[in-house]
Amino acid sequence: MSGRLQGRRALVTGSTSNIGRAIAEAFAAEGAHVVVSGRSAERGEAVVAGIRARGGRADFVRSNLDGGAAASEALAGSAAAVLGGGIDILVNNAGIYPGDTTPGTDEKTFDEVYAVNVKAPFFLTAAIAPAMAEAGGGAIINLGSWIARLGVPMGALYSSTKGAMETLTRAWAAEFGPRGVRVNAISPGVVLEPGPGAPSPGEAMMNGTPAGRMGDPGAIAHAAVYLASEEAAFVHGTTLDVDGGRTTTAVIAA
């Protein structure tokens, strides 16, 4: 790697597996000191151990981001302390996905999904962005989703939360950008952690796209490194589609 994030301090929520883990690993490989965060201490420590084994800097902070402001504020404080007093990069990645129909979604599930996917990052950003601005700037990256803009028959609740995060991205860019804090989002397509097993149903969702296949977490991590780095210094309030062309292009096979 080229040290594009050398000396930066990063917090990645939901980074004990999948996309969040890949982002934490990529940030550390580029020189950042990373706080890995999630509910499972066992998985979190495994991610940290892997990063350290490769010569990177990482620590684990356990957090259950349930949507309460107190939980978000506690994570912000603990992460800043572990990182030596501040956070330069925040990745709002943690989220839950109940793939049910609208009639099949009860009120408890509705409230829980909005709490984790929207309220928690809202209050975490509220706790971190002002301190970033006071310190001279920073970068915030939110995770959206391709189904926030391309309707599918299942998962209306989840897709609406990701639409909310993409809207917050633009609003926060306007609010914090003039104070040196860049806010952007990544909209992943159908992504699956590499590994053995039966074919995923998600493969069919990538038929007729330019990529013609599902993505892997590393593709999202590369985009996150770019948005966190100085290479994206002139990028504010955008949602970067990393979806194999799912939301923009239809390929018609002859």
Residue type, 231: E
Residue type, 206: M
Residue type, 164: A
Length of the chain: 254
**Does residue 158 have an active-site annotation?**
yes
**Residues 234, 91: Cα–Cα separation, whole Å:** 18
**Residues 248, 236: Cα–Cα separation, whole Å:** 21
**Residues 9, 79: Cα–Cα separation, whole Å:** 9
Q: Which residues have C-beta within 8 Å of that of residue 79, sequence separation ≥ 6?
A: 11, 35, 37, 61, 87
Please identify which of the residues 97, 114, 158, 226 carries the catalytic annotation.
158
Per the CB < 8 A criterion, the answer to whether 26 and 225 are in contact is: yes
**Residues 181, 86: Cα–Cα separation, whole Å:** 14
Strand segments (E) across the chain: 9-12, 33-38, 57-62, 89-92, 138-143, 181-188, 239-242
Alpha carbon 186 to chain centroid, angstroms: 7
Catalytic residues: 158
